[in-house]
Amino acid sequence: MSGEIGVGAGDKVFEAALLSQRWERCRDQLLRSTATFAGISLLVGSGWIGLRLSNSRLHWADDSSASSLAQLSGALILVQSFRGDPNRAVPSLWAERLGVQPATDLWRRYGRSMWWQGWAQDGGAYLILASSTFPPQLQGLQRQRVGSMQVLASDALHRQQLLQRLKTNQVSTTSVQTDSLWASCLHALSEAPGVIWNADALATLSGTLAPLLQQGREGCVQLRLQANQLLWEGVIGRRPLSSLTMRSSLSSSGLIEASSDQASNDLNSTDTTSSELTLLQVDGDRVDLILGTLLSRQIIQAPLEEHYGINAAMRSKIADLPFSLRLQSRASGAYKAGLQVQLPLTGSAQQWAQILKAVSERLDSRGFQKLQDDRVSSEREAPILWQRRDDPDPTTVGGWLIIQGQKSPVMSMGFGTEPAAQPFLSTQMPQNRLSLRVKGDPQRLTQIGLLGGLWPKPVRRASSLNIEVKPLKISASSQLARQSWWRVSGSLTLTPDS
C-alpha cells in the first residue's frame, strides 16, 4: 500500500492551515483538509448533516455531477467536495494544477459552485472541476474529461494512470442501483461539502490503526461549521456502500432520526465531568466494536488459547461485553500516559480465575514480578500489580483489580498504570442506544506527543473531540447486514490562533 497520501500529499493539503495565524482562515483550511476529515471520520472516524435520504429512487442524468462521480469511484479511493467562495484565498491545489494567475481568475468566476479533490493510491491529489465553468482557452494542462467534469492530475504519468484505472474499472451509470446508499452519497457529494471513501483509503490513511477501524472501512459524511465547532455526520460500514439499497433494506423511518441541530445539541450535552487526567475516554456496548478484527485473526486466537486458555467460546463472551477505557496522563515515571480498561465479570468466576492465573504465570516467566499494594485496606481486595524484575527504577507496568458491585463484579485493568480502584464502566449508554462514544482532548494529547501523524495545526490545538456511533436502522433479516452499518456524528471544538 502506497504511503504517499499520508506523507507528501498530506504536507500539501495542510500547508495553508499550518502556516495561517488567523482564526477564520484556519477554519476554512480545516474544511479543505482531506486527511483531517477522513481521519476523524474513520477513527471516530459518521451520521448525516443535510444528507436527506428517502425511500424513493434517486435519478440522475448521464451528464450530472453524481453520474461523473460514479464513474470516478472505480479509479479513486477518496473524494472530498467543497463549495467555492471567491471571498476566500485561492486553494493551493488550484494554483498547483492551473497555474497561479489562471487559478486566481477562475476562482473568482467559479463563485459558489461545487468543486472536488480526489485521491488514488499513488501520487498527489486530483483537482476536479465542472466542465461548464472550465475555460476552453487553458491549454497544456494534464486534464482528463470524465462525464461533466474536468479532472486535473499532477503530471502526465498520473493522468495516464487515472485514464487506465477508468478503463479498467468502468462503471455504467445505467447499471448503478440509484436507490443504494452509495448513490445517495454521490448525490449528496455533488451538492454539498462532504467526503466519501473506500477500504483502500482507510488502509492508506490509518496505517497500523486499520485493524481497529474496520467498522468504518467504507463511508461518507457531510461537514459544516457552527460557531467554533466543526460538525460531521454520515454513515460508515464494513461493506461497500453500493451493497445497501434504501428501498429494500432501510426501515420505514429512513436514515434521519433527528435534525442537524438536535444532533449537535446531543454532542454538546455529553458528560464532561471526567477526571482532569483523562486524555481520551471510550465507552462501548461491545468489545468487538474495536477489537473484532483482531479477535478474529488466527495469529491472535492461537496464543490466547495456548497461553491463557481463552477458547472460542470465551472469546465470543468477551467480544459481547460492554467496556469503558480511558487514557490518563502520568505526572512522573517511565510512561507519559496509562490506559485503564473496565469490563463486567460475567459467567463462570472459576474460568476468569484460571485466565488470571495463566496471565500471572506468563508475566512471571517473562521477567515481571508481582507487587503488594500496602496502601489498600483490609476491607477491600488488593490490586494485583506488576513491575519488571530487577528494574533499577521500579515502575508499575500494569495490573488488575476485581471491584465487587451491586449487580456484577467489574474487572478493572491498568496498562502502564495502576488499575482504577473505583468503577467508571458505563453500564448504560445514552438514549437511542449508542454503541460507541468517544471523548478526547487533542490539544493535551499533542502536548505529550501522543497525537502525531497527519493532523493539521487546528486539530492538534482543538480543545475537545466528541464522537457518537449507533446502529443504522435497517429492516434486513441478516444479522450480518444489521451489524455492518452505523451512524456516526461528531464535533471538534476549535481554538483561536490555531
Three-state SS string over 49-92 comes to: CCCCCCCCCCCCCCCCHHHHHHHHCCCCCEEEEEECCCCCCCCH
If asked whether residues 50 and 111 sit together in one domain, one would say: yes
State the Cα angle at 471 between 467 and 477, rounded to 5°: 165
If asked whether residues 328 and 194 sit together in one domain, one would say: no
pLDDT at 161: 93
pLDDT at 175: 52
Please give the residue range of the domain that contains residue 122.
5-270+457-493
pLDDT at 307: 86
If asked whether residues 34 and 173 sit together in one domain, one would say: yes
Number of domains in the chain: 2
Is residue 460 helix, strand or coil? helix
Q: Are strands 464-471 and 485-493 parallel, antiparallel or unpaired?
A: antiparallel
If asked whether residues 206 and 310 sit together in one domain, one would say: no
Q: What is the pTM of this model?
A: 0.74
- Is residue 439 assigned to a domain? no
pLDDT at 452: 60
pLDDT at 4: 35
Backbone angles phi, psi at 280, to 5 degrees: -155, 135
- 442's grid cell: 487533542
pLDDT at 379: 54
Domain boundary residue, one of 362, 397, 415: 415
Domain boundary residue, one of 415, 434, 466: 415
pLDDT at 183: 84
Please tell me the distance from the alpha carbon of residue 354 to that of residue 47, in angstroms, as a whole number. Answer: 42
If asked whether residues 167 and 316 sit together in one domain, one would say: no
Cα 272 → chain centroid: 21
- 450's grid cell: 501522543
If asked whether residues 205 and 114 sit together in one domain, one would say: yes
pLDDT at 479: 60
Report residues of the chain scoring pLDDT below 70.
1-63, 171-179, 206-210, 246-274, 372-380, 406, 427-434, 452-456, 475-483, 497-498
> How do residues 33-47 score in pLDDT, each as one tens digit?
333 333 333 333 332
490 and 469 Cβ atoms separated by less than 8 Å: no
272 and 234 Cβ atoms separated by less than 8 Å: no
> How do residues 111-130 score in pLDDT, each as one tens digit?
999 999 999 987 789 999 99
404 and 325 Cβ atoms separated by less than 8 Å: no
Q: Are strands 436-440 and 410-415 parallel, antiparallel or unpaired?
A: unpaired
> How do residues 361-378 score in pLDDT, each as one tens digit?
999 999 999 986 555 555
If asked whether residues 92 and 197 sit together in one domain, one would say: yes
